[in-house]
Amino acid sequence: MSKRILTGYRPTGKLHLGNLHGNLKRMIELQEEAECYFFIADWHALTTDYQDPSRLRAYTEDMVLDWLAAGIDPAKAVVYRQSDLPEVAEFHLYLSLITPLGWLERVPSFKEQQEQLRGRDISTHGFLGYPVLQAADILIVRADGVPVGEDQLPHLELTREIVRRFNFLYGETFGEPQSLLSPSPRIPGTDGRKMSKSYGNYISLTDPPEEVRKKALSMITDPARRTRKDPGDPEKCSAFQLHKAYSVKELDDIAERCRTAARGCVECKTMLAERIVESLLPFQERRGEMESRPGYAWEVLREGVEKVRPVAREVVREVRERMGID
Ligand code: TRP
């Protein structure tokens, strides 16, 4: 029996290097060996952005094209949009009936996001139910594995708690999905913090070469290297963390030249920039090609949802039966 893998991304626009190394590469590997479901979580995006949905369609299209150009293959993985699968909404309702309020109020992202997104009113029923909707996404295809970042672990734990409660109430129906954390090192942004859309410290996969060079050169290096002659500690340098992904073969040499001040930071970051530019070239070429085919992303999503629909329908049918409304 092949494993079922599922993951979703909120449509927030173009992907960056942090997304690529953190999760996307893993997804591209997994599609070769498992039954994969990759979807655009547009309902989840609306839980925080319901006041301004004007960019939702453009963001969805951008994300799909980035996925495909990076190597997600719609012939191998099922790629779809959450809102095209209303079965998820129905299932979310059933799960919401059995999920205690206290579990949701305890999820760390609930309080954190309320703090961080102060400008928006997210004291809503929908936002509180965010992890229940996520559980519905996962269980509607009976996923065994969910590739996610560390921030999503509490949501996966809640999904397993919901599974246990459902099985206890209505009989053994679902298995417990496991989270698959990416083994690759954390990719820092230009300011040294985790690369993230919300920090504005990212290099996009679609950034043109001049932009990549500018951003790579602005990366924070070891603050102890104030002049060209000061030796540095590569582990304290954000650019070195990226070299770990882009300069694997020369890594020891790069570290050594930093420690002995044999190479300056500008030269070191210029090297890095060229590696990144070079690696993005084939991606950007494929993406350009896809952009010239109007409606291509939507076509892929339309075909994808038809593949997941029978799976989802069967799960909802069984849930209805278990809950006495068949
Ligand atoms: N909450 C996830 C995020 O912010 C997105 C998501 C929605 C998801 N549903 C999912 C991830 C199901 C994995 C599985 O990144």
CA distance 311 to 309: 5
Asked if residue 164 and residue 46 are part of one domain, the reply reads: yes
Question: What's the gap in Å between 148 CA and the centre of ligand 1?
Answer: 8
Q: Which residues 6+ apart lie within 8 Å of 75 measured at CB?
A: none
> Looking at ligand 1, which atom is closest to the CA of residue 41?
7
The verdict on residue 44 lying in a domain is: yes
**What is the mean predicted confidence (pLDDT) over 201-227?**
97
| pLDDT tens-digit series, residues 159-195 | 999 999 999 999 999 999 999 998 777 899 999 999 9
Residue 194 lies in a domain: no
Could you tell me the distance, in angstroms and rounded to a whole number, from the CA of residue 123 to the centre of ligand 1? 20
- Model pTM? 0.95
What confidence tens digit (pLDDT) does each residue in 95-131 have? 999 999 999 999 988 888 888 888 888 889 999 999 9
Bridge partners (DSSP) of residue 4 are 35
Domain range for 169 is 4-187+294-322
Helix (H) or strand (E) holding 145: strand 145-148
What integer is the mean pLDDT of 3-19?
A: 96
Instruction: Report if residue 54 sits inside a domain.
Output: yes
pLDDT (mean) for 231-257: 96
For residue 1, the model assigns a pLDDT of 52
**Alpha carbons within 13 A on the beta-carbon side of 21:** 23
Burial class (CB in 10 A: 0-12, 13-18, 19+), 236: middle
Q: Is residue 203 part of a domain?
A: no
Q: How far is the CA of 218 from the centre of ligand 1 (A)?
A: 31
Residues 312, 247: one domain? no
Ligand 1 first shell, C-beta below 6 A: 6-8, 10, 41, 44, 134, 137-138, 146, 148, 152, 155
Q: 134 and 35, same structural domain?
A: yes
Q: Report the alpha-carbon distance of residue 218 to residue 191 in Å, rounded.
A: 8
- Domain co-membership, 107 together with 215: no
Report which ligand 1 atom has the smallest distance to the Cα of 9.
5
Read off the pLDDT band of 14 (50, 70, 90). very high
Whose alpha carbon is nearest atom 6 of ligand 1?
A: 8
Q: Is residue 193 part of a domain?
A: no
27 lies in the same domain as 115: yes
> Of the candidates 142, 185, 182, 138, which has an alpha carbon nearest to the alpha carbon of residue 157?
138
